[in-house]
Amino acid sequence: MGHKTFSHAKLTLNSNQLSQGIAGVFLFMAAFLMLGSLVFPTNAKASSVRPPANATINALPENSSPQPAPKATGGFVPGNTLGNRSQTSFWKSVRDGAIGTRDTMQAFPSPLIQSQGQDWRYLRNNYISRYGGWLLIGVTGLIALFYLIRGRIKIKSGRSGAVIPRFSLTQRVVHWFTAVLFILLSISGLILLFGKHLFIPLIGKTAFGVVASASMQSHNLFGPLFIIATLTMFFVFLKGNGFKLVDLKWALKGGGFFGGHASSHRYNFGEKAWFWWAIILGITLSLSGLILEFPWLVGTNMWPLLAGLAHGGAALLMIAFAIGHIYIGTVGMEGSLEGMTRGSVDENWAREHHDLWYQEHNKEATGDHPPAKAQAATSKG
Amino acid sequence: MARMKFLCDAERCIECNACVTACKNENEVPWGINRRRVVTINDGKPGERSISVACMHCSDAPCMAVCPVDCFYQTDDGVVLHSKDLCIGCGYCFYACPFGAPQFPQASNFGSRGKMDKCTFCAGGPEKDNSAVEFQKYGRNRLAEGKLPLGAEMCATKALLAGDGDKVADTYRERVVSRGFGSGAWGWGRAYPGQSGG
CATH top class, domain B4-180: alpha beta
Interior/surface letters A251-262, b for 16+ CB within 10 angstroms, e for the rest: bebebbeeeeeb
CA distances from B152 to A119, B11, B59, B143, B148 (A): 31, 15, 20, 13, 8
Distance from CA of A53 to the nearest CA of B (A): 19
Interchain contact A162–B (C-beta under 8 A): no
Low-confidence ranges of chain A (pLDDT < 50): 1-13, 41-45, 72-73, 75-83, 369-381
> In terms of pLDDT, which residue wins out, A305 or B30?
A305
Residues B41, A125: C-beta atoms closer than 8 Å: no
CA angle A121, A123, A126 (to 5 degrees): 95
CA distances from A46 to A42, A50, A343 (A): 8, 11, 92
Q: What is the pLDDT at residue A170?
A: 94
Q: Where are the domains of chain B?
A: 4-180
Strand partners, A333: A153
Interior/surface letters B19-41, b for 16+ CB within 10 angstroms, e for the rest: bbbbbbebbebeeebbbbbbbbb
Q: How many domains does chain A have?
A: 1
Q: How confident is the model at residue B108 (pLDDT cuts 50, 70, 90)?
A: low
The model's pTM: 0.76
Distance from CA of B85 to the nearest CA of A (A): 8
Q: ipTM of this model?
A: 0.84
Angle between helices A245-252 and A269-293 (to 10 degrees): 100
- The answer as to whether A108 is a domain residue is no
Task: Tell me which chain A residue has its CA closest to the CA of residue B177.
Answer: A69
Q: What are the chain B neighbours of A294 within 8 Å (beta carbons)? A: 111
Q: How confident is the model at residue B21 (pLDDT cuts 50, 70, 90)?
A: very high
- The answer as to whether A81 is a domain residue is no
Q: What is the pLDDT at residue A53?
A: 74
Residues 193-232 of A with CB under 8 A from B: 193, 195-196, 200, 205-206, 208-209, 212-213, 216, 220
- The answer as to whether A94 is a domain residue is no
Pick from A94, A143, A84: nearest CA to A114: A94
Say which of B41, B85, B184 has its CB closest to residue A100.
B41
Q: What is the pLDDT at residue A134?
A: 95
- The answer as to whether A274 is a domain residue is yes
| pLDDT tens-digit series, residues B36-72 | 999 988 888 877 888 999 999 999 999 999 999 999 9
Here the CATH number for the domain that contains residue A292 is 1.20.950.20
- The answer as to whether A166 is a domain residue is yes
Domain that holds residue A166: 156-380
